[in-house]
Structure 1
């Protein structure tokens, strides 16, 4: 199979979808790997490293899209890439279609086979290709929240961990999954007071058992969320419904009641956001906006800020699935693997992931029928 790895062009995105070790494994099995020149530069991977692993370098993305059977990316195709896609071409990447109707319609029209990292799901319910980036985003959410709490960045002027005699910040985390757990771990380690809100009581019990420090766990409902965000200095949105649009848990009215200079970091923005006042995604170049006196950080590719860590963490997990797709062909691989089958969101003009179809009021075709 011919596998193509174009350079990521989303603003602020420096990750790359493969590392030299992955190239070597694919070429050893007889596949051809085309890598766009400079694709790994943002992650500190030189073209020479890809060459020595067996990759074939191409100067332009157009060449890669024209030749490759399977396109590996980190982020969803950008508008300038839509015309390069062709019917039946497999695109394996983070798609996050439920939050973006224009993207969904464009990819349906191109007739690609869209396999989304974020909806590949194991029998235990875990999301193996979302987990590593959720770990990074959760940890980074506290770092950036602490930064924007500084007065020079528009915040209240609070040190997250406080000092003796002066209490640390109040951090409220909406969601106790992978993002929430990692955010809580870092916030507690920095000395903050942390409240985690989740609807899953056994998960809250688990968090109390494994996390040490000033931790409070609260069951999610409108009343409790409203109370919590009023006293929060930093609110982290960490809600996830696999493949679906994130629910809006914090209303604009709640944000109005927050303290001046407090900070919101909506990690769920790539799935539409769980904060009502986050009406747009931001970029690493221009990461925040202020609404009702509250600083909003809404970068949709948070892990892109630490691309070397993120690239290696992601490709450690994606490579086994890439090998399945390449060795067996996508149809046989999907038939043999229920997790991979759950990753298929689009199939040659059909929407095969129900939550995506529902989000955009588009016809849903079960994968078995579409194949």
Structure 2
């Protein structure tokens, strides 16, 4: 099979869909890999590295899309890429369709086969291709949140870990999934007082077992959220419903109950955000302020640490890429239940119900 790896063109996105190690695994099996020039530079991989692994380097995004029967990316296609995606072409990447109607319509019109990393789901319910980026984003949420608590960037002027004689900062984490646990771990490591909320008691028991005593768990409901937002300095939104829009746990009116300079980091922004006032931002312009509350809502947080993120992501995507190129998408998805759940749109038809539900298109589900 011919596989194309284009350079990511989303704002400040330096990850790449395949490393030279992955290229070597494909080429030694007789597959052809086309990599756009400089596609890997942001992650620390040179064109020469890809050439040594057997890739053909092409000068433009247009040529890579034209050459590839399957496209392997990191982020969802943006409007400049829509016309390049053709009928029957397989696109394997993060899509997050439920939060982007324009993208959804474009991929339907392209009649391509869209397999979304974020909905590949194994028998235990885990999302193996989302997990590593959730781990990165959860840890970064505290790193970035701590920065924006500083007074020069309109935060409260709080040092999360405190110092002798001064109480540490307080972190509220919404969701005890991968993002939430990684965020709690980082915040606890800095010495902050952490409260983590979830509706799943099994997850809360797990957190209670593995975390130190200054990480406390509570059941998530509106009453508890409203109570905690008044006193916490950094609030991390890490809720996820696979492939669907995130629920709005913090509404606009709640901002008035927060102290000026409170920082909100909405890691769920890719799925529409779990905060009503969330809108996607970029690493170039990461924050905005509403009601004196700092919002950090960067839609590709792991893109700021591209080497770590690329290696972590491709470690888990490569086995699925190999199945797709060796067997073709139909047979691969027939044999692998987890990969089958990654099918979102097939040749103009939505086949993943939460996408249709997000836009009220249930009648269009195939």
Q: TM-score if structure 2 supplies the norm length?
A: 0.99
Q: Partner residue of 1:303?
A: 302
Q: Partner residue of 2:339?
A: 340
Q: How does 1:116-131 map to 2 (within 5 A)?
A: 116-131=116-131
- Deviation per residue, 1:195-241 (Å, 9 max, x gap): 00000011101101001141111101110111111111000000000
In the aligned structure 1, how far is the partner of 2:179 from the partner of 2:264? 15
Q: How does 1:1-371 map to 2 (within 5 A)?
A: 1-278=1-278, 280-363=279-362
What stretches of structure 1 of length at least 5 have no aligned partner? none
- Deviation per residue, 1:305-333 (Å, 9 max, x gap): 00000000000000000000000000110
In the aligned structure 2, how far is the partner of 1:109 from the partner of 1:230? 47
Secondary structure, aligned partner of 1:264: strand
- Deviation per residue, 1:64-114 (Å, 9 max, x gap): 111111000000001000000101100000000001111101111111100
Secondary structure, aligned partner of 2:230: helix
What stretches of structure 2 of length at least 5 have no aligned partner? none
8 Å contact 1:4–1:65 — kept in the other structure?
yes
Secondary structure, aligned partner of 1:231: coil
8 Å contact 1:281–1:299 — kept in the other structure?
yes
C-alpha change, 1:125 and 1:332, in structure 2 (3 Å) is: same
Task: Answer with 60-69 or 26-35: which moved more.
Answer: 60-69
8 Å contact 1:93–1:116 — kept in the other structure?
yes
Calculate the aligned-residue CA RMSD, in Å: 0.9
8 Å contact 1:188–1:213 — kept in the other structure?
no
| Displacement after TM superposition at 1:364 (Å) | 5.6
8 Å contact 1:351–1:363 — kept in the other structure?
no
Secondary structure, aligned partner of 1:268: helix
In the aligned structure 2, how far is the partner of 1:216 from the partner of 1:196? 6
| Displacement after TM superposition at 1:363 (Å) | 4.5
Secondary structure, aligned partner of 2:217: strand
In the aligned structure 2, how far is the partner of 1:360 from the partner of 1:32? 38
